[in-house]
Structure 1
Amino acid sequence: MINKQQQQICGFSLVEVVVAMLVVAIAILGLVKMQIFLEQKSEYARMGLAALQIAENDMQYVQSLAFASISGATGSISRSDGTYDWVRTYKAVMSGSAKQTQVTVTWSDRQGEKQSLALSTMRSKFN
C-alpha cells in the first residue's frame, strides 16, 4: 500500500503543467515572430540586390554612351519577385564639362510600401 507521503511526491500538478505549457507557447510565438521578421528582411535584401543590379546595368550603359548622348530616361522591369521602376536623371555641372547622372530604382515590398535605391556618378566630356 502507498502511503500519503509517497502520493504527494509522484507526478505533476495541474498548475505546473499549465505553467509549462504557457512557457512553451510563449517561446513558440517568439520563434514565429522571429521567422516572420527574418523573411521580411530576406525579401528586402533580395529585392534590394535586384534593384542594385538594375541600377548598375543602367550606369554601365551610360558609360558606353558618348558624352553628348547622355540623357534622362525611365523604364520598368518585371521580375518574378516584383516590378522595378527606374528613372535616370542628369544635370550638367562644372560649366557643362561634366554631367552628374543618377539612377533611382523603386519597388513595392510585401506590405505595399515603396522602397528605393539610388546610384549616382559623374562623367566628364574629356574621357
Structure 2
Amino acid sequence: MIPLRPVPAAPATTPGAPREPLLRDLVGEVLRQERLSQERTLKDVADSARISFAYLSELERGRKEASSEVLAAAAHALGLGLADVLGRAASELARRSAFRAAARATGLVPSRSIPRAQVRLAA
C-alpha cells in the first residue's frame, strides 16, 4: 500500500533549539533591508524589476523561492548584483550559525532565534 501523503521526517534538531534558517528567508531580509534603506516602495522596485508587486512582497517575506533570473532582476532593480544579495545572505547565515554554535557550547539553547533586524534595546 502506498500512502497518499508522505510521512513527516523526524526533526533535524532537538525540540526548543533554533531551526536552521532558510535561504529564502535570508534573501528576503536582504532585499527588504536594501529597499527600505533606499526608501523605495515595493511597487517601485517591482516595476523596475518587471515582477509583480505581490510576488516581490512574497519574496521579501520568505514565502516564495525565487528563480535565479527573478532574484537577479530584483537585485538589479535595487542597484545590487546577484552576488551582493547572496553574499549578504551568506554573511547573515554565518552570523546565525555562530550564534547557535555558541549557544550549544555554553548549554544555553534559546527557545527561538532572534533575527538581527528585530533586536530592540531598552534604555
| Bigger helix fraction | 2
Q: Which has the larger radius of gyration?
A: 1
- Between Structure 1 and Structure 2, the one with more strand by share is 1
TM-score where L is the length of structure 2: 0.28
Q: Give the number of the structure with larger relative contact order, counting CA–CA contacts within 8 Å between residues 6 or more apart.
A: 2
TM superposition score normalised by structure 1: 0.27
